[in-house]
Structures are given as structure tokens and as C-alpha cells.
Amino acid sequence: MTGYISGRRRNWRAVAAAGAGVLLGLTGCSGPESNGQTGANATPASTAGLPSLSVAQSTLSAYVGGTPGSADAGKPPVHIGFITQHGGIPSFPESQVAAEAAVKFVNDKLGGIGGRPLALVPCVVVSAQEEALNCAQKMANDERVKVVQLSLLTVGTAAVYETLSDRKAVVGQTPASPTDVAAKGVYQPWPGSYGIQGGIAKYVADVLKAKRVAVVYDGDDPGSAFGAKSVAAAFGHLGVSFKQVATQTGSADVASALVSAGALDADAVVRISNTPSCVPTARAVQQLGVKAPIIALDFCTDDSVRQANGGDLPKWTYVGQSRNVLSPRTDQQAAIYRSVMNAYAPRAKVGGLAPYAWDSIILDAKMLNQLGADPTPAAVSDWWKGFGGPLFLGPDRVACGFLADKGLPSLCSTTVFLAEYQGGDRWERSVEVNAESIGITK
């Protein structure tokens, strides 16, 4: 009996030791994978042939209205708050990496803001509304911060806008929720999933000349579902007949939805989804032998899709809010962005939300160069309202608030870029489509 007990104790001790080891190991190894800088996340596309940094310097200093050269490190920095989301689900670590690269570049090559260095005050939301509220309160209570640059947040944005309202100038980036689109006095330079659908519809109707379209979307994702709804409205106006069917994010069974939406005899298939649905879609398309061109969001250009799809992306047409940064060969501005990223954040993810975050900082520099380092919230809001473009990585023309009468006061643009992928890292030049308003193309 005693033997039995002591034997059991030994087992327990061994198990406890193993448990502790597991924990220790965990804390030791979790860091690098989650900050968006690993080799696995890097795009294999070659960096050869990118323009030199001096080209980037001259082009961008003209764009932001800065003085080529480095900022004076002795001068007091100009602080920009930066609220971003990573570490939970979903997670966009590339935003902060790209924003920091842009800040370094601005300080190094564009003379900062009137010679003063730009400094990022980041605040990270992991996954909870409480964290977003905390970040907003931190910004509101930080005397140094005059401008808060948002990056894409999926939680707690209502609290952020409410808390910072009239206290700090807030600059949006790309809307992820209806709250973003409806925010007052805050402008979102990029259309997000709330502004790209009209462009897609127009492309499908005018460029592909499609008569029948199958639309498959992630029904459990509000952004995708909104997209499906507005693309339906747009098709209706364009006289394109369509069928739409919802799946669930990441569901392995996309084939049912494709068949049900009539993908087998449609002229085009529009797939509106997040990254986890891309590979199942690619498999289902292959399995069913769908012949029609596939239009998918650029979430599907993620490296995980490339890996799971046998090392190459599916040969689809990808919809982006920005110029195609994966194809520097076909776009000069994208090439300059890549060159800057290559110099200041080598091996970082260049796709995903990185271009928007990077461009946001460049735009902030442009704005602060014009408004001075300590702008009021009203001044910032007015600047955006009067800003006609261009976005460095986006369309030439934007008009913030142009959809205010449609209940979308914070949108600045509904322009999308569609790029056809031919495989083997070769891209067609992207097509810029400007739907003048969501779902309604005049």
C-alpha cells in the first residue's frame, strides 16, 4: 500500500515538473513569431530591381512637402499616437512594423516634421474592448500626443471615437466596422470592406463583361456580409444577374456554396472573405473545375495561402484598396514603398495591412508639414475634408465625406485596384476602378 502511494507521488512530481517545463518553454519561445518579422511571413518576391532609397527620398519628400535630409535629433519630437491590434485573434502585427519603418524613413530622409523628429506612441489592443478603451484613455491623457493615428481595429472603436472626440485629432485608416464608417469628424482614407464593392461590381460588369455572377461570402463576418449586400445592390444597378450564398469563415466546405451560387456556369465568381477561407476556396475551385475568373480580396495574397496552395497563389484577380504592392515591377509607387520597407524593415510582411499603415504615417507627415506640429482636432478634420489626394499608394483623387448623405460620412474613397495574378510571381498591371459611390455606379 505504501509502495503504491509513494509510486503515485513520484508520478505526480514528474507530471508537475513536465508541466512547469511546458510553461517555461512557452514563455521562452513565443516572442518572435508574433511580431510579424519572421522569415516565414516575408514575401519571397525578389527585391532586386527596386528603386534606390534616393529615388524614394526625392519622390516622397516632394509628396510630403518635407526637406530631404534627416531630422534634428536634438529637437523635441512630434508625437503621434498609434492604436493598433495584435497578439490576439485577429492580429495585424504588420501594421506597427510598417508604421515604425515609415517613421524611421521620415526622420532619416524626409527631415521629420519641419526638422523635428517624428515619434510614434504605440498602444496595442490584443482582443478586448477594454483594451481599446484603455488605449484611447492613454492617448487622451498623454499631453505630448496631438494626433492619434488609428490602424485597423476590430474591437472597441466606438469607445475610441467617443473618448478622443474633441480631445485629440483622430486620423482613421481603413474602416473595419460600421462605427468606423459613421464616425464623426474622422476620415478613413482607404475604403475598407465598406467601400470596395461598387468598384468590384463595375469591374465585373465593364471589364469582364459578365452577365451572370456567383457571389460567395463569409456570412459570419460582418464586413464580408456587408460587402455581399452592397455588391448585390451594385450588380442590380448594372443589370448583372447574380446569386449569392454565404459560407462560414474557414469552412472547408466551400464547394457547396460555389455550386449553389451557380459558379459552374457563371461568367465570374466573386469571393468575399477573410484569409482562412482562401485555401478552401482554391481547393473547391479546383475540385469543381470552375472555369470563370475568380475575383477575391487581397486577404488571399497572404503567405499562408501561398504555402498551402503548393507554393504559389491561386491565379485569380485580387482586389486591393491600395496599389499592388506585391508587384513593384508594374507600379512605380509600389516599388518605392517596397524599397523603403526593404531598407527600414527588411524581411517584414509587406502585404496585409502594412501598406495602409505605412501610407498613413506618410500622410500624417504631409499633413503635419502643412498644419504644424500641434494641430487642433478641428484643423485636422478640416485638412482631411479639403484633401483631394493623391494617396501615395492609392488613387489620385479622394474626397473625404463625399458619401455623408448616404450615411457613410467618414469614407474618402471607393476606389479599388484589381490585379490579375498569372502565377510564378507575375502580375498584370492593376486596374483602378472608381465607383463613385457604394453600390451605385453612375
Partner 1 sequence: MSTEQILAFMMLGLGYGALIAGLATGMVVTYRSTGVINIAAGATAAYSAYVYSELRTTGTLVLPPSIPLTADREPLGALPALAIGLALAAGLGVLQYLLVYRPLAKAGPLAKIVASSGVLLTVQAVIVLRWGADPVAAPAVLPQAPVDLLGVSIPEDRLLLAGLVVVVTALLWTLYRYTRFGIATRAAADSRKGSVLLGLSTARLESANWVIASVLGGLFGMLAAPTTQLQPTTFTLLVVPVLTAALLGGFSSFGVTVATAFGLGAVNSLIALFQGQPWFPKVDGAPLPGVTELAPFLVLAVVLYLRGRALPDRLTAVAPPMPRAPRPRHVGPAAVVGAVVVVAALAGLSFDWRQALINTMLGAVLCLSVVVTTGFVGQISFAQMAVAGAAGYVTAAIGTDANLPFPLPPIAGIAAAVATSLLFSVPARRVRGLQLAVLTLAGGVAAQRFWFGNPQWGSGLRPANVAPITVFGTEISPSHSFWGTESPSSGFGLVVFVALLGCALLVVRVRRSALGARMLAVRSSEAAAVATGVNVGAVKTAAFAMGGLLAGVAGVLYGYNFAGVSADRFGPLTSIAFFGVAVLGGVGTVSGALVGGLLVSQGLLFHAVTTWFGIGPDYQPLFAGLAVILTVIGSPNGVAVSVADGARALRETWRRQRRRGVTATGES
Q: Which of residues 375-414 bind partner 1 (CB under 8 A)?
A: none
Shortest distance, position 156 Cβ to partner 1, whole Å: 6
Residue closer to partner 1, measured from CB, 2 or 27: 27
Write down the H helix ranges in 353-433. 354-371, 377-386
Among 129, 330, 434, 437, contact with partner 1 (rule: CB under 8 A): 129
Shortest distance, position 63 Cβ to partner 1, whole Å: 31
Residue 11 as a binder of partner 1 (CB under 8 A): the answer is yes
Shortest distance, position 132 Cβ to partner 1, whole Å: 8
Residue 420, CB-side half-sphere exposure with 13 Å CA sphere: 10
Integer distance in angstroms from the first to the last C-alpha of the chain?
A: 87
Burial of 329 (0-12, 13-18, 19+ CB in 10 A): middle
Stretch that binds partner 1, among 297-305, 312-320, 356-364, 371-379 (CB under 8 A): 297-305
Contacting partner 1 within 32-71 (CB under 8 A): 33-34, 41
Binding mask 181-220 for partner 1 (x = CB under 8 A): xx------------------------------------xx
Residue closer to partner 1, measured from CB, 30 or 332: 30
123, 113 Cβ separation under 8 angstroms: no
Among 7, 19, 44, 346, contact with partner 1 (rule: CB under 8 A): 19
Count of CB atoms situated within 10 Å of the CB of 144? 13
Contacting partner 1 within 91-110 (CB under 8 A): 91, 93
Residue closer to partner 1, measured from CB, 52 or 256: 256
Among 53, 55, 208, 308, contact with partner 1 (rule: CB under 8 A): 308
Residue closer to partner 1, measured from CB, 102 or 183: 183
Stretch that binds partner 1, among 45-53, 301-309, 371-379, 412-420 (CB under 8 A): 301-309
Contacting partner 1 within 249-268 (CB under 8 A): 250-253, 255-257, 259-262
Among 287, 332, 370, 422, contact with partner 1 (rule: CB under 8 A): 287
User: Who contacts 350 (Cβ-Cβ below 8 Å, separation ≥6)?
Assistant: 43, 94, 98, 325, 326, 337, 338, 341
Residue closer to partner 1, measured from CB, 40 or 62: 40
User: Who contacts 325 (Cβ-Cβ below 8 Å, separation ≥6)?
Assistant: 331, 334, 337, 338, 350, 351, 354, 355, 393
Handedness of CA 225, 226, 229, 232 (dihedral sign): negative
Shortest distance, position 89 Cβ to partner 1, whole Å: 4
* Grid cell digits, residue 364: 500624417
User: Who contacts 342 (Cβ-Cβ below 8 Å, separation ≥6)?
Assistant: 47, 50
| Dihedral angle, C-alpha 205, 211, 214, 217, nearest 10 ° | 20
Binding mask 157-176 for partner 1 (x = CB under 8 A): xxx-xxx-x-x---------
# residues contacting partner 1 (CB under 8 A):
96
Q: Phi first, then psi: what are they for 76, rounded to 5°?
A: -65, 135
* Grid cell digits, residue 180: 468606423
